[in-house]
Amino acid sequence: MAENTRKLLVCCDTGCLANNARAVADALEAALAAAGLDVAVERGSAELKRTGCIGQCSHGPIVKVHPDDICYYRVKPKHAEKIVASLGGEPYQPLLYRDFDGEPKLREADNPFYAHQKKIALRHVGLIDPLSLDDYLEAGGYEALKKALTMEPQDIINEIKASGLRGRGGAGFLTGNKWQAAASYPAQPKYVVCNGDEGDPGAFMDRSLLEGDPHSVIEGLIIAALAVGAEQGYLYIRDEYELALPVVATALKQAEAAGYLGSSIQGSGRKLHLEIVRGGGAFVCGESSALMASIEGRVGEPRSKYIRSVERGLWDKPTVLNNVETLANVPFILSYGSGEFAKIGTAGSKGTKVFSLVGKVKRSGLVEVPMGITLRSLIFDIGGGIADRRSFKAIQTGGPSGGCLPESLLDLEVDFESLTDHHTMVGSGGMIVMDDRSCMVEVAHYYVDFLCGESCGKCTPCREGLRHMREILENICKGQGKASDLEELEDLAFALQEASLCGLGKTAANPVLSTLRYFPEEYEAHIKERRCPAGVCKPLTLMQIDQEACTSCRACLKACPLGSVKETPAASPDQKATYHIDPALCTACGSCREACRFEAVVAVRREATCA
């Protein structure tokens, strides 16, 4: 970077785009152009880059100034001129991050959201322009590939094995062992596949990587191909990822033009052709055999696992399937050595993991942390604790295959084993924080309902078992649960785990088992008292106004879409108007409770259903 070259990085990832980031980037461009005329000399040339996700989406759009390392949050187009005017001088104070101590934080590293993070997979995301190969090369891109070209395939595999890298797509299989197995079969051709299906309904790190640093993933996939001897590969990406698809397509073209792909990679005589396959949006297609069926043009249904895909995968040939994040780690390991990677993490889980820390935390977004970090540190140090002065109830990890962990497990160190030991899993890395207004039975129902819709229906335990579970949970949420339901749920869970064909069914009971285990009192309140303690299950709940706490601010009245909050005007000027909620109109949507800042709206048991 030339000495006085300044860069403005505007996050233009999905989260920030939803916050109008494109208009911010345009306004900055305009402001720079306007200012460029008179003051260009003093400030040096400021180059505006559009980048991927910087992570703290809750505070977007985010604009970073390099090399000053200043971070502006919640930027609006109207701030563009102020930012441009501040370049090289005093930072523009109103947009700096302020933590709970109220002190403005200048740099990204000062923001506690980032201070506890360690970025390997996301190392370039938010720093480089994903559409620029030059940016990637400047950041050390494709050096790992050049190194790999000088190595024997077995040495590449050994390096990955030594790093201890395990798959980030869910199962946590050792990547080096997977490559070794595929390399050991003589059958040709062989295939490498990148799994960018990302079906977990609460995680978006793969998308962020594909959108923000596509070349890292491609480079990882090329290295995998060199290691196992594949000459053809696929990137399976969801069709809904409207931003990721063109970005990856462009990156593939660039890599091919620059000779990192094609008929002779960097003149080595080694070939690799990569193609994008667009997924159709079915959760089960993320499962390896279903994904391969889908690439072959068949309906995406899994097959039984007695033949492994490393031996007979795509078109019955040896195939390596790796997750996006797994592959993004690969170039780092080759460039910096397996030791650099293996020194981070726990005994069995090396390196870092990207989590999408969302839900009811103060600071949310994508975070990359060392394996072994405690849940407490994730939620409180990075996430800043529970939002809206509420209290922590549970953290859901692992998406639909995972479960909910209670407060007593907050000091659990997160890695593949520890979570599996507690009826959940790392999975793709969703971390959804729930407060006292989340109902655990309803959450279990949510996942079972999701999986019911996504079960491909090929095997009976999954198809029928899930449907039956859903029915039981639905009844409990409606206040029609029976004492025998809990036992029946456990029986069904056991059948699903034992008899399902693929991972979808085998893990589908986790959301139910973990909530049953850690929150039995909530199930009991629903069944025995016909009451939803969190005030979420509508048939069991009514909202009421606590007259003592009410300050007559009318927030609830404005928030109710149904007009069920009724006002009684003040009887005399020195009194306040009073409010009550008409039970006949209230649907217990909770909008009034969310709007109230004085805890004056409380959820009570709806008597009518308690016959």
Partner 1 sequence: MAAPENGAAQFNATGEAVAKGTLVLEMPEVPRERIEAIIQCYPPERRYALAVMQDMQHSFDYLPRTALELLAEYMSFPLAQLYSMATSYKALSLKPKGRHIIKVCDGTACHIKASLNIIDELDRLLGIRPGDVTPDGQFSLETVNCLGSCALAPVVLIDGTHYGKVTLEKLSGILESYKPGGECDG
Ligand X SMILES: Cc1cc2nc3c(=O)[nH]c(=O)nc-3n(C[C@H](O)[C@H](O)[C@H](O)COP(=O)(O)O)c2cc1C
At 241, list the tokens. Answer: 């990822």
User: For the chain, percent helix, then strand, then coil, each to nearest 5?
Assistant: 45, 20, 40
Q: Minimal CA–CA distance to 184: which of 149, 233, 231, 227?
A: 227
Question: What's the CA gap between 86 and 81, in Å, rounded?
Answer: 9
Site for partner 1 in 431-460 (CB under 8 A): 432, 434, 438, 443, 446, 450, 456
Interior angle at CA 341, CA 336 and CA 344, nearest 5: 140
* Closest distance to partner 1 from the beta carbon of 443 (Å): 7
Q: Mask: binding to partner 1, 174-203, rule CB under 8 A, as x and -?
A: -------------------------xxxxx
Handedness of CA 373, 374, 380, 385 (dihedral sign): positive
CB-neighbour burial class of residue 411 (10 A; exposed 0-12, middle 13-18, buried 19+): exposed
Query: Which one of partner 1, ligand X, none interacts with residue 169, CB within 5 to 8 A by kind?
Result: ligand X
Which residues are within 8 A (CB) of 592 and not within 5 positions of it... i.e. 6 or more apart?
543, 555, 556, 557, 559, 560, 565, 581, 601
Extended strands (E) in 348-429: 352-359, 365-370, 392-397, 403-406
Q: Mask: binding to partner 1, 13-42, rule CB under 8 A, as x and -?
A: xxx-xxx-----------------------
Counting every residue written for the chain, the total comes to 611
Question: What's the CA gap between 285 and 238, in Å, rounded?
Answer: 10
Query: Contact with ligand X (CB under 6 A): which of 51, 288, 438, 455?
Result: 288
Q: Which residues of 152-171 are buried (b: 16+ CB within 10 A; e: fewer)?
A: ebeebbbbbbbbbbbbbbbb
Query: Which one of partner 1, ligand X, none interacts with residue 585, CB within 5 to 8 A by kind?
Result: none
CA separation, residue 546 to residues 325, 556, 579, 583 (Å): 49, 12, 9, 14
Q: Mask: binding to partner 1, 270-299, rule CB under 8 A, as x and -?
A: -------xx-xxxx----------xxxxxx
Query: Which one of partner 1, ligand X, none interacts with residue 323, CB within 5 to 8 A by kind?
Result: ligand X
Site for ligand X in 479-538 (CB under 6 A): 502-504
* Closest distance to ligand X from the beta carbon of 567 (Å): 50
Total residues in contact with ligand X, by rule CB under 6 A: 23
Question: What's the CA gap between 213 and 584, in Å, rounded?
Answer: 54
Nearer to partner 1, 336 or 446 (CB): 446
Site for partner 1 in 510-539 (CB under 8 A): none
Q: Mask: binding to partner 1, 299-338, rule CB under 8 A, as x and -?
A: xx--------------------------------------
Nearer to ligand X, 112 or 167 (CB): 167
Nearer to ligand X, 178 or 468 (CB): 178
Nearer to partner 1, 55 or 370 (CB): 55
Question: What's the CA gap between 187 and 308, in Å, rounded?
Answer: 14
Total residues in contact with partner 1, by rule CB under 8 A: 58
* Closest distance to ligand X from the beta carbon of 264 (Å): 28
Site for ligand X in 165-204 (CB under 6 A): 167-171, 173, 195, 197-199
* Closest distance to ligand X from the beta carbon of 294 (Å): 12
Work out whether 287 is an interface residue with ligand X (CB under 6 A). Answer: yes
Query: Contact with ligand X (CB under 6 A): which of 111, 117, 319, 326?
Result: 326
Query: Which one of partner 1, ligand X, none interacts with residue 173, CB within 5 to 8 A by kind?
Result: ligand X
Question: What's the CA gap between 309 and 502, in Å, rounded?
Answer: 14
Site for partner 1 in 550-569 (CB under 8 A): 558-559, 561
Query: Contact with partner 1 (CB under 8 A): which of 170, 399, 505, 535?
Result: 399
At 169, list the tokens. Answer: 């797509």
Nearer to ligand X, 170 or 479 (CB): 170
Q: Mask: binding to partner 1, 44-63, rule CB under 8 A, as x and -?
A: ------------xxx-x---
Question: What's the CA gap between 484 and 376, in Å, rounded?
Answer: 35
Which residues are within 8 A (CB) of 558 and not within 5 positions of it... i.e. 6 or more apart?
595
Nearer to ligand X, 61 or 302 (CB): 302
Of 13-21, 132-140, 247-255, 315-323, the segment contacting ligand X by CB under 6 A is 315-323
Q: Minimal CA–CA distance to 235: which of 212, 217, 262?
A: 217
Query: Which one of partner 1, ligand X, none interacts with residue 237, CB within 5 to 8 A by kind?
Result: none
Neighbours of 338 (CB within 10 A): 19
Question: What's the CA gap between 284 and 455, in Å, rounded?
Answer: 7
SS3 state of residue 200: coil
* Closest distance to partner 1 from the beta carbon of 446 (Å): 5
Handedness of CA 530, 534, 539, 544 (dihedral sign): positive
CA separation, residue 243 to residues 238, 256, 260, 556 (Å): 11, 21, 23, 39
Query: Which one of ligand X, partner 1, none interacts with residue 412, CB within 5 to 8 A by kind?
Result: none
* Closest distance to partner 1 from the beta carbon of 542 (Å): 15
Q: Is 559 in contact with 591 (CB distance < 8 Å)?
A: yes
Neighbours of 608 (CB within 10 A): 12
Q: Mask: binding to partner 1, 455-494, rule CB under 8 A, as x and -?
A: -x--------------------------------------
320's enclosing H/E stretch is strand 319-323
* Closest distance to ligand X from the beta carbon of 323 (Å): 3
Query: Contact with ligand X (CB under 6 A): which of 286, 345, 398, 590?
Result: 286
* Closest distance to ligand X from the beta carbon of 470 (Å): 17
Q: What is the DSSP letter of 53?
A: -
Work out whether 321 is an interface residue with ligand X (CB under 6 A). Answer: yes
Which residues are within 8 A (CB) of 148 and not within 5 positions of it... i.e. 6 or more apart?
156, 222, 223, 226, 227, 334
Binding residues (CB under 6 A) for ligand X: these are: 167-171, 173, 195, 197-199, 283-284, 286-288, 321-323, 326, 428, 502-504
Binding residues (CB under 8 A) for partner 1: these are: 13-15, 17-19, 56-58, 60, 199-204, 207-208, 239-240, 242, 277-278, 280-283, 294-300, 356, 358-360, 364-365, 396, 399, 430, 432, 434, 438, 443, 446, 450, 456, 558-559, 561, 587, 589-591, 594
